[in-house]
Amino acid sequence: MIRFILTAALLLSGTLAMSAPLPQVIAHRGASGERPEHTASAYRLAVEQGADVIEPDLVMTRDGQFVVRHENEIGGTTDVADRPEFADRKTAKTIDGVKTTGWFTEDFTLSELKTLRARERLPLLRPGSSSWDGQESILTFDEVVTLAREESARSGRIIGVAPELKHPSYFAEIGLPMEDALVVALERHDLTGAEAPILIQCFEVGTLQWLKGRIDAPLLQLMSVSGGPADRPDLTYAAMSTPEGLSAVADYADAIGVETGLILPRDDMARSLPATPLIADAHAAGLKVVVWTFRAENVFLPLERRHGDAPTDHGDLRGYLKAFYALGVDAVFSDFPGAAVAAR
C-alpha cells in the first residue's frame, strides 16, 4: 500500500527516526502566518514548531526552472514593483480564465528572480510577518528539498515536502510544461518511490494522471468548495466529492486535499453546519483526506470560533482544528503549524 507522506522510519545519520503520528501537520508555505510565505525562515520556523511536512507552491521561470511562489504573479510577494529595471515587465495575462495584471515568473530568468526579495502577501492582516520583508530571496524547489533534508538531520525526524504544481495547463500553453521537469527534479533527489517523503499536489486532473504513469510517489488531488479543474471544464469539484467521483480519483491519486467547507460547510451567517460524509466516503474509496487551510485570524474562521470583532484578531484555531481531528482527517494544512501541532 502506498503511504502518502512519511515512512515508519528513516535511516538518518546512522539512527532510526520515527515518523509523526496522524493526523499530520503540513506547514502551508511554511509558518506563513508568522513569516513571509515560501521563505527559508518560514520553513525552518515551521519545523521548529513541530510540522511534519513543508509545502512549496511551484511555478516556472523563463528558463524552465522551478521557483517557489504562491502564484506566478509576484507583484504582491516580492519587491519587483520597486525595481525600476523590471518596470517594463509589468503586463496583463489571463490565467485559468482570470485576467491578472502584474509581474510574472515566466517573464524572468532564475538569475533575475534571485535578485528580488520576498515580502508578506497579507501585510494588513499580518504586520508582524511584514517586519521580515526584504530579508530573503526567492527559493527554488531544489533549495526547499535541501532545506527539508537539513532540517530532518537537525531535528532527528523525517520532514516531508508537499509541492503543489500551479497552473500546469497554462504553463504548457506557453511552452513550459511542468510534468517532465518535475520528474527530472524528483529523480535528481531520489523522490520518485512510493515510500518517498513527498506528496505531490495539483488542482488539475490530467497532470496527476500523467504523473501516475511515470512515478510511484504519492499524489494528492486538490478540491475546492466551488469550481472545478482548469483542465476539465466538464467536471466540478462537487461531482468529484461524491462516492462515484472519489472512486474515479482513487484510480490515480492517493489522497484528496479539500477546502474546510467541503467537510464542515457554513451557513449564511458563517456558522459551521453539520459535517458532510466526505471523510468516510473518501476513506471507503481508499483515499487519505487532507484539509486546507487552517488560519488563526477571525476572517478565516467560522463565526462560533471568532474572538473579538476585528477581522485580524486571532480566534479559536485550536478548537477548530480539534473538531476536524475528531472527524478523522489524516492531515491538515496550516499557516500556523505550531497551533496545529498543539491541537493534535
Q: Please indicate, yes or no, if residue 133 is contained in any of the structural domains.
A: no
The pLDDT of residue 21 is 61
Q: Which residue in the block uniquely carries the three cell numbers 527559508? A: 40
Asked if the structure places residue 105 within a domain, the reply is no
Using a cut of 0.75, tell me whether the model's pTM lies above it: yes
Sequence-distant (6+) residues with CB within 8 A of 46 are 27, 30, 31, 54, 337
- Listing from the earlier edge strand, what are the strands of the sheet with 219-223? 66-68, 57-60, 164-165, 200-202, 219-223, 255-259, 288-294, 331-334, 24-27, 53-54, 160-161
Residue 309 within a domain: yes
Q: N- to C-terminal Cα distance for the chain? A: 25
What's the pLDDT at 11?
24
Q: Kindly state whether residue 47 falls inside one of the protein's structural domains.
A: yes
Q: Has residue 83 been placed in a domain?
A: no
Tell me which residue range forms the domain holding 295: 9-59+139-343
Q: Report the CATH number at residue 169.
A: 3.20.20.190
Q: What is the pLDDT of residue 13?
A: 28
Q: What is the largest CA-CA distance in the chain?
A: 55
Question: Do 50 and 19 contact (CB within 8 A), yes or no?
Answer: no
Contact 190, 166 (CB under 8 A): no
Q: Per the domain annotation, does 198 fall within a domain?
A: yes
Q: What is the mean pLDDT of each run of 10 residues along the chain (344 residues)?
A: 36 30 93 98 98 98 98 98 98 96 98 98 95 97 98 97 98 98 98 97 98 98 98 97 98 98 98 98 98 98 96 97 98 98 97
**Does residue 82 fall inside a structural domain?**
no
What is each CA distance from 41 to 51, 53, 114, in whole angstroms?
14, 15, 16
User: Which 3-state string (H, E, C) describes 253-317?
Assistant: CCEEEEEHHHCCCECCCCCECCCCCHHHHHHHCCCEEEEEEECCEHHHCCHHHCCCCCCCCECCH
Structural domains in the chain (count): 1
What CA–CA distance (Å, rounded) separates 338 from 48? 8
Q: Helices 178-188 and 205-212 sit at what angle, rounded to 10 degrees?
A: 40
As a residue count, the chain comes to 344
- Which amino acid would we find at residue 70? H
Q: Decide if 153 is inside a domain.
A: yes
pLDDT number for residue 96? 95
